[in-house]
Amino acid sequence: MIDSDKKYQATYDGAPLSLDLIHGSVVGKPVAKTASVTAVYEMPDGTERRFSRSAELKDEYDRSKSEMQKLEEEAAFNLNKKKNIVAERKEARIEIDEAEKYRRLNNDLLSKRTELHLFRLYYNEVDIKHIREELKLREEQIETENAHRQDLEEEIREKRRELGKLHRDQAGIEQDIKKCVKNARQLHSSHRQEMDQLSAEYARILELKEEYERQQNKKSQEQGRSLELEDSQLAEYHRLKQKVAEHTSHLSAQLDSLSREYDEQKDLSDALERRKEEIENSLRLKQTELNDNQKRLQKLTEFIESSHRSIAELTETEKSISEEVEMATRRIEEINAELESVICQIGEAKVERHESSRAAKKQELIENLKRLFAGVHGRLLEMCQPSHRRYQIAITKVLGKYMDGIVCDSEKTAKDCIQYMKDQRIEPETFLPLDFLDVKPVDEKLRLFRWMALYSNVRVSSQEVPATFRMFALHFYGSDLKARARRWDEKQISSLMSRRDALHSELKEQLKRKRKEAELRMLQSQINGLEKRLKYTQKDKESTEEKLLSGNEEEMTSLRAKLDDVNERLGRCQTKMQELQISINAEKAKMDNVEDTVLHDFCVSIGVENIREYEDRELRIARERDRKRLEFNNQLQRINNQLEYEKSRDTQANVHRWEETVTGERSEMERCKKQEKRLKEEMEVEEARKADLETQLTEFQQKNDQLEGELGELRRRLVSRQREVQKQQKELNQIENRLENKRSERHSLLQSAKMDDLQLPLKPGASSMPELESQLVAESEGADLNSEEMMRLYEMEAKLPLDYKQLEKPLRMIADEKEVNRKADEMQNDIDRMANNLARIQAPNLRASAKLGNVEQRLRSTEAEFEETRRKAKRARAQFERIRRLRYNAFMNCFNSIADNIDPLYKSLSRNPGAQASLLPTNAEEPYLEDLQFQCVAPGKRFQQMDSLSGGEKTIAALALSFAMHQYNPSPFFVLDEIDAALDNTNIGKVASFIREYSRTRAQVIVISLKEEFYSRADSLIGIYPDIENNCLVSRVLTFDLSKYVDTEDQ
């Protein structure tokens, strides 16, 4: 829609639209192949713009022409066929006599070949029988050796199991020894700590005792009566405590026993708790290690599988590329050698080869004549060759105008060829019928002629020699004799240059293949790297499977068993501790009751509820005060005076504190002594256990060494047996190879007999094996058989019942293998001699009589076909001539119109009457078959080829041609796309003015242009620009009517 006026679309809806020139093609159109222009002229109108409509007759033209040529070829073929059949009839009668002689000699040869095959098959079967017996004996020996080897392997496996058990026991003992040593060291360390602690406590008790005695003496001197009162209370306290001790002696003993047992159970419980925690930690670590090893093993397995696949793929690729590169390398060497030879030959020829359409037509004529007429041999130039290049000019002079003559067998063939050329309207040629030529023998006197150089007999000045020689050469040889002589080399140079181009192309292809060497090296490097990584990965996987996983599982099983044992022991221990705690509490309650009864009055006198409250409160305060003094007040004791110190402390509490401290330290010392004794006893037990375990370890090591020695001896015996088995296996393989060779030899003999159509004799009453014959035929025809099919075929061949009695008895009594081979060679020599004699005789046609009857029948049929074909050919030619005239008239109407209009249009576009443009046909008789010549002379310039014109000049020429074509069959619209791309401003103005004039009279023109100088001359403008709508890029259209404004350039 233009200027939003919908009537344009309604007016021109369905009208044809000429889309002629588009961007990028306007400059190339005048220099395009004119054969494509010819095709455009011919095509009928359709959806696109076409012109002459002569192509409507093209299919009928081609069909009638093809039918005419076919019938003429059939007529010529039937004529030649008739001649050939007559000659065949004569030959068939001769062949009948030769066939009988040939058949007799061939039967003798077949008989000898059958005897030789039967002879070889007989001794082949004898050899196979002997080899089978030897093979059976070897198999029995190998079976015996394998039985001995299996016994040794079983014994070795038993020893290995025993040795493995021994290693496990030894490892357990070593572990127990390590544990014993560790326990002994821990006990020794604990014992040393207890000893040090006991020594320190003993020294501290002595110091406390001395300090107590000094303070008591000092207090006795200072306090007098007050000390006695305290002494009386203290004495009463000790007396009562002694009385309590007497009443509760049996309870104290029982309580001490229960306390010791409870402490032992408590220590055992703590040890079991620590042991349980250690085992659980070890179990968690082992489980984590097992999971990690399983994951690692899975990754290793996946890596190994992927590596195998990658190596297989890379190996296959490397093999194919290696073969390709190797073949390319060899071929490149061959090509370079051959190419060097070809280039040398081309350089020596020094001939420039000029191809032209005329030469191509002449060559095509020779090929058609040879195809249609059997008696045509070719051009004289192609049938002979000078023995050396120095004779080329002489031979060219001698042959003269007959150099391009066409040689044929008879005058009849020459006349047929001439008639054919007339029918095809081909240029005349010279024919040389062999039965028409009168060849004169060479004058032998000329061979005795001794020529002399011109300069040796004639003396001339140096200035005159060149001119005289040139005159002589021009007169004797002719002006173009040397150029014509070069045609001798053109015969060779054509094939040599074709070969050179082919070699260059093949060399490029081979070089591309050879460049794959870098890829090949990279593949080989990748394969080596993968194989190395695969090797290490497999070792790692085996190590992980054999050591880590099995060790982890065994250790975890052992740890779970130990954990169960520890839990069981810990449960019993805790149950025992609960029972002991109940007993201890009961005994303490009994002792408290006795103590409350005895010390009741004393407690009332000192103002406490019970003695335990007094002891807990007073003794605790005293002990805490003394500890504080010992820790923090050492410095204070040196500063404060003795008086303030004595006033500030509670002397009575100190007395009780020192007494309690001494009592407690003595009890602690007794406990440490008991614990020391217990630790010594445990150390002695552990030492004894360690000695016992070391003794067992020594015994296990001795037994281990013994088993290792026995196992080594068994391994040596096994290696010896394996070597013997391998040796016998190697001999067995050799025997099997011999058997396979013999079976293959028998197969080859039978296949050879089948291929030679030899009938091998079978035993009386035996029948042939059709399956075996079909297999032999299939293999002889190239069918591939797998190993199973070949073995089945060998078995069938072994069962073939051949009758060897047909051989003479002396031939079946030979015992020496050399004599067998000599006799076979002698028989083969006889066969070769007979075959050579038979080969010297040309193989006759054994069906000559049948051939003779067939030939006579074919002769009668061919004569009838020839007459019928000749009548059809005449009718086809008449039909072809009618269609050719119709097509020629249709094409020339279009061509003449365009050729008449193109020159005025070119002048109008150029705005110069001196500009010229012409359109000429190459083939005046049938212009639609060949190219059209489009020529232009630009204003102010001489004539040039289209390739030599500038871009603007080509554009003007293309527009002239396009508008001329448009005028022949115009359309309402004419669309041009950026035709001004190669035009300057001057030419743009010319083209724009022409289009304005053309659009007012001929058709409406739509031009796509980006140059202001061009589109400013238009009647209206349509602009396309991008816009964003709903986040999408859309195209918008702008229109502008320029007809409202005055064109200043027109004014």
Question: What is the DSSP track for 538-591?
Answer: HHHHHHIIIIIIHHHHHHHHHHHHHHHHHHHHHHHHHHHHHHHHHHHHHHHHHH
Segment 278-306, tens digit of pLDDT: 888 888 877 777 777 777 778 778 878 88
What's the whole-number mean pLDDT along residues 353-361?
Answer: 58
Residue 287 to residue 552: CA distance in whole angstroms: 8
Take residue 185 and report the two structure tokens written for it.
Answer: 């060291």
pLDDT of 991 > 80? The answer is yes
In one letter, which amino acid is 421? Answer: M
Nearest to 663 by CA among 615, 614, 605: 615
Select, from the ranges 381-390, 501-510, 884-893, the one with the highest average predicted confidence (pLDDT): 884-893
Place of tokens 């058997």: 739
Q: Mean pLDDT over all residues of the chain?
A: 73
Residue 676 to residue 665: CA distance in whole angstroms: 16
Question: What is the DSSP track for 435-478?
Answer: TT--PPPP-GGGGG-----HHHH----TTHHHHHHHHHHHHHH-
More confident: 948 or 247: 948
Look at phi and psi of residue 378 and say left if phi exceeds 0, alpha if psi is from -120 to 50, else beta: left
Segment 374-409, tens digit of pLDDT: 889 888 877 887 777 777 777 777 777 788 889 998
Same fold, 7-30+885-1041 and 357-438+481-485: no
Strands 431-433 and 1032-1041: unpaired
Look at phi and psi of residue 450 and say left if phi exceeds 0, alpha if psi is from -120 to 50, else beta: beta
DSSP 8-state symbol, 1033: E
Judge: domain 357-438+481-485, CATH 3.60.15.10: no
Three-state SS annotation for 813-831: CCCCHHHHHHHHHHHHHHH
The phi, psi pair for 496, rounded to 5°, reads -65, -40
pLDDT of 782 > 60? The answer is no
Place of tokens 């039918």: 67
Q: Where residue 1037 falls among pLDDT bands split at 50, 70, 90?
A: very high
What's the whole-number mean pLDDT along residues 230-242?
Answer: 70
Give the pLDDT score at 996: 87
What's the whole-number mean pLDDT along residues 645-662?
Answer: 44
Segment 832-884, tens digit of pLDDT: 888 788 777 766 666 767 777 888 888 888 888 888 888 888 888 888 888 88
pLDDT of 765 > 70? The answer is no
Nearest to 32 by CA among 21, 47, 43: 21
Sign of CA dihedral 395, 399, 400, 402: negative
Question: What is the DSSP track for 472-540?
Answer: HHHHHH-TTHHHHHTHHHHHHHHHHHHHHHHHHHHHHHHHHHHTTHHHHHHHHHHHHHHHHHHHHHHHH
Output the pTM of the full model.
Answer: 0.32
Residue 118 to residue 812: CA distance in whole angstroms: 10
Nearest to 804 by CA among 129, 117, 127: 117
Segment 158-208, tens digit of pLDDT: 766 776 666 666 666 666 666 666 666 666 666 566 666 656 665 666 666
Take residue 156 and report the two structure tokens written for it.
Answer: 């070795």
Q: In the CATH hierarchy, which fold is given to the domain comprising 7-30+885-1041?
A: Rossmann fold (3.40.50)
pLDDT of 1025 > 80? The answer is yes
Strands 17-21 and 431-433: unpaired
Domain residue extents for the chain: 7-30+885-1041, 357-438+481-485
Take residue 579 and report the two structure tokens written for it.
Answer: 């029972």
- State how far Cα 170 lies from the chain centre: 55
Take residue 869 and report the two structure tokens written for it.
Answer: 């074909």
DSSP 8-state symbol, 17: E
pLDDT of 688 > 80? The answer is no
Point out which residues pair with 861 in neighbouring strands: none
Segment 443-482, tens digit of pLDDT: 666 665 555 443 333 333 333 333 333 333 333 334 455 5
* Residues 6+ away with beta carbon under 8 Å from 606: 233, 614
Work out the angle at residue 53's Cα, subtended by the Cα atoms of residues 49 and 54, and round it to the nearest 5 degrees. 140
| Three-class SS state of 433 | strand
In one letter, which amino acid is 396? Answer: T
pLDDT of 705 > 60? The answer is yes
